[in-house]
Structure 1
Amino acid sequence: MTTLHKFLVAFIVTAVMLFTSCSKDDDNNAPSNNYTTVENILHEVNFQGYAIVTKNGNDEVRQGFGLANESIGLPQDVNLAYRIGSVSKTLTAAAIVQLKRDGFISSFNQTLDEFDSQFPNGNQITIAQLLSHQSGIPEYQLIAEQALENGQALDAIDIYNVITELISENGLNFTPGSNKQYCNSNYLIAALLVQELSGMPFHQYIQQKIFNPLGMSNSFKGTDIIDANTHAQGYLNGIPNSTYSMTIPFGAGDFSSTPNDMELWTNAVKTSWFSEAEQAEIFTQDVPSGYTDFGLGWFTTQEGNTTMYWHGGDINGYWSMIGFIPEYDATIVLLSNQQDDTGLQRNTIIQQLLTNEFQ
């Protein structure tokens, strides 16, 4: 097992659990000689879903694997919706960047007490620390899920109050900035900040500032129960498993999207959606080879001279990943409707791509 693989297995399993027929347009987009290799990687791990992998302007893979709905024989499709789980965090982080563009915040170094004077230890926690999981704020997910099991549905404001109570009673998990710990609470708070400062619902702000300008017409706030006509059915061990209360993840992971829309978003981030100055703040630099580090809404994984920026997600019945590799003008979109509690499929695919296809 390589150093990269060891680290990815240890890191990704804990970091991105929610809380984480091929086609070509024309001869100029003909697959490269590595097409079969990438396709084989996906077959070997029993990937089920839709995959897009491009390299230097060519499609390595653009195809569905398995069925989107086994009961009705629905094929995977580039315009079919999938839950994307924590990949939603890339959108929430981008909304915070947009807040700065719109003048609602002046710096990512502003502290939470500037927006809520009653937030415990808020004078120690910056917006940048929220988005890079350096805040020390405790996780809320299990508490919200247990409350729902007991018949009490918590909305985002309720969960916010739970988080502040946890901090008041038990303190932060660590001094902000001294450590890094993946935590959905950071992104629920960030989404509420978007809502509060913009004066519009969080999802409406994302729609207006990101989806509409990029033509992402099939991305939306997920529903507790999917529409089987337009949405891939999620599975766990072959059994349908796609029902989940979307009030729990909120800005940490409640979006659904299509492979086509996720390609649009990834390509936008890869090219011009962020300015050079914004990129310098968002993407972690100087990561040692074989390691992954947090940025503001994106991970950086370094293997040799190859840098991949990405995020993954997991939610009932689904796992996802989007990413890009500047050195190869590469885009990666993997939306699966087969839950993988171990993260092994994603880990293996990342390891194989970085050590074989992009070196």
Structure 2
Amino acid sequence: MPARPVTVLALLGLAALCAPEARAQAQAQPALQPPAQTRAGFAQRADALVKPYLDAKLFSGAVLVAHRGRPVFRRAYGLANREWGVPNTPETRFRVGSITKQFTAAAILKLAEAGRLNLDDPIRRFYPQAPAAWERVTLRTLLTHSSGIPSYTNLPDYYARIQRLEMTPREIVALTADKPLLFEPGKGFDYDNTGYILLGLVVEAASGQPYDRYLREAIFDPLGLKDTGYDDATAILPRRASGYRLGNGQLRNAMPIASSIPYAAGAHYSTVDDLLAWDRALFSGRVLSDLSRRAMFADAGYGYGFGWYIGQSHGHRLWSHGGGINGFLTIKDTYPDDELTVLVLANTETAPVQAMAREIAALWFRIPDPGTEIVLEPEIMDRYAGRYRLAPGRLLTLAREGDHLVAQITGEAALPFLPEGDRTFVSKARNARITLDTEPDGRPTGLMLYRDGTDRAAPRIEVTQ
């Protein structure tokens, strides 16, 4: 549910982090399976890859890698609840943010199969109070983020006010209903959470049931997904992880968000096992017909299908989506030609889940030095540029150079730091990592420098200081 162009992991989506790779036009390589001896040692190597993120206090959560539907690596790390010292397990339930969108898209397709709707129906059929400017907005354009409707998560007061209020879906839609369209429907792409709120209302209107009940009865229960559901913060939910953010150089409880706010754009929780089971069911025809499934994974022209990014990574075809909601970052990568699924669910906002998932896939594909696939928009890195105080008289200065940041500490040579997430940057040459400490709206207040096995907090200072 991104509320700004690139720091999209902060709330329900991976729009900008995934988009450059998802839109790549390179042809995927034929599926290549590692030899048996590589598979046998894969779990050990994957664990060794994850451990540095744990040691750097960036990651806690669960990781699962499956080949042909069977786990080849399944492990949990860190704490589900830091106040009680409760560890994460593979059975821990995590908020999954915008991974919810593929559940919503599947619900729309199932209702289309039942004859309750058509993908080219105008939104006005199910939401009669739609403004005149939405006349050409269809369900298809909502599914593919090409409606032009502004996202409510981009409103200036989203973090300070809106996200804390319990609102009905119609009240959420009304937040941007009076705003002009960003472009003519079907003529552009802008990651849009309002669109998926509208799709949730369509599910309710077409099914005659509340959104969460329809998904439970039509999808989750028939598939045996007992650890997946709509996250209600007031409910007692066994094995639910708490979410954390970095503040003043320390992990803190995530900022609260009202349970009604994410709705059909990102309100669900799940486990790594249930998400794998969902993949297996979806790709085996137990959820949708072949025709509907092909529609879901067809690139609509902007590297996005229905609830999935469509692209390639490491030269292999990739269907992917991530999510970010207060305290949680997640990603689910599926390589269809290789029958490989990589899941990373984290209960920290600092976890570079996309970088982790792609590095793990590179291990499977036997790519020794995959490099970075993370691309941040320049304005995000420009926001991070500035001076940070490591100690009296010792400053760390950040500046953007092209697609990365350059860091210079007083008395030392400048070093390039490449993005590995929306708030983390790494220098492999120096074995160092910078993690930005930000307000919920993305404004940096400080950073954490991890170098030589030591964390150093550095508050941001103004030019006049």
- On whether the aligned pair clears a TM of 0.5, the verdict is yes
| Mapped contact 1:283–1:296 kept (Cα < 8 A) | yes
- Report the counterpart of residue 157 of structure 1 in structure 2: 170
Q: Structure 1 residue 307 and structure 2 residue 321: aligned?
A: no
Q: Structure 1 residue 179 and structure 2 residue 188: aligned?
A: yes
**Equivalent residues in 2 for 1:232-251 (5 A)?**
232-237=241-246, 238-241=251-254, 243-251=256-264
Equivalent residue letter for 2:277? L
**Structure with the largest fraction of helix:** 1
- Report the counterpart of residue 53 of structure 2 in structure 1: 45
- Report the counterpart of residue 100 of structure 1 in structure 2: 112
**Equivalent residues in 2 for 1:327-346 (5 A)?**
327-340=337-350, 345-346=352-353
Equivalent residue letter for 1:199? G
Gap runs ≥5 in structure 1? 1-10, 21-27
- Report the counterpart of residue 18 of structure 1 in structure 2: 11
Equivalent residue letter for 1:214? L
- Report the counterpart of residue 272 of structure 2 in structure 1: 259
Q: Structure 1 residue 204 and structure 2 residue 213: aligned?
A: yes
| Mapped contact 1:224–1:243 kept (Cα < 8 A) | no
In structure 2, how many angstroms separate the alpha carbons of the residues matched to 1:305 and 1:209? Answer: 36
In structure 2, how many angstroms separate the alpha carbons of the residues matched to 1:33 and 1:274? Answer: 36
In structure 1, how many angstroms separate the alpha carbons of the residues matched to 2:207 and 2:238? Answer: 34
Kindly state the Cα deviation for residue 321 of structure 1 after the two structures are TM-superposed: 1.4
- Report the counterpart of residue 115 of structure 1 in structure 2: 126
In structure 2, how many angstroms separate the alpha carbons of the residues matched to 1:195 and 1:37? Answer: 46
- Report the counterpart of residue 77 of structure 1 in structure 2: 89
Identity %: 26
Aligned CA distance change for structure 1 residues 12 and 267 (closer, same or farther; 3 Å): farther
Gap runs ≥5 in structure 2? 14-35, 367-465
Q: Structure 1 residue 135 and structure 2 residue 147: aligned?
A: yes
Superposed CA offset, 1:252-309 (max 9, x none) = 111112222222112222322332211221113599xxxx811111111213651111
Q: Which has the larger radius of gyration?
A: 2
| Mapped contact 1:17–1:86 kept (Cα < 8 A) | no
Aligned CA distance change for structure 1 residues 54 and 199 (closer, same or farther; 3 Å): same
Equivalent residue letter for 1:183? D
1:94 aligned counterpart, secondary structure: helix
In structure 2, how many angstroms separate the alpha carbons of the residues matched to 1:33 and 1:99? Answer: 44
- Kindly report the root-mean-square deviation, in angstroms, between the aligned alpha carbons of the 2 structures: 2.8
Equivalent residue letter for 2:276? E
2:40 aligned counterpart, secondary structure: coil
Kindly state the Cα deviation for residue 12 of structure 1 after the two structures are TM-superposed: 9.2
In structure 2, how many angstroms separate the alpha carbons of the residues matched to 1:57 and 1:12? Answer: 34
1:60 aligned counterpart, secondary structure: strand
Kindly state the Cα deviation for residue 83 of structure 1 after the two structures are TM-superposed: 0.8
| Mapped contact 2:108–2:199 kept (Cα < 8 A) | yes
Equivalent residue letter for 1:316? N
Equivalent residue letter for 2:111? L
Superposed CA offset, 1:13-38 (max 9, x none) = 45554242xxxxxxx9x963322232
1:99 aligned counterpart, secondary structure: helix
- Report the counterpart of residue 282 of structure 2 in structure 1: 269
Q: Structure 1 residue 63 and structure 2 residue 75: aligned?
A: yes
1:98 aligned counterpart, secondary structure: helix
Which of 349, 354, 357 is 2:356 aligned to? 349
| Mapped contact 2:151–2:194 kept (Cα < 8 A) | yes
In structure 1, how many angstroms separate the alpha carbons of the residues matched to 2:311 and 2:5? Answer: 11
1:239 aligned counterpart, secondary structure: strand
| Mapped contact 2:42–2:363 kept (Cα < 8 A) | no
In structure 2, how many angstroms separate the alpha carbons of the residues matched to 1:198 and 1:42? Answer: 43
Kindly state the Cα deviation for residue 228 of structure 1 after the two structures are TM-superposed: 7.3
Normalized against structure 1, the TM-score is what? Answer: 0.82
In structure 1, how many angstroms separate the alpha carbons of the residues matched to 2:52 and 2:207? Answer: 46
Aligned CA distance change for structure 1 residues 256 and 347 (closer, same or farther; 3 Å): closer
**Structure with the largest fraction of strand:** 2
The number of residue pairs the alignment matches comes to 328
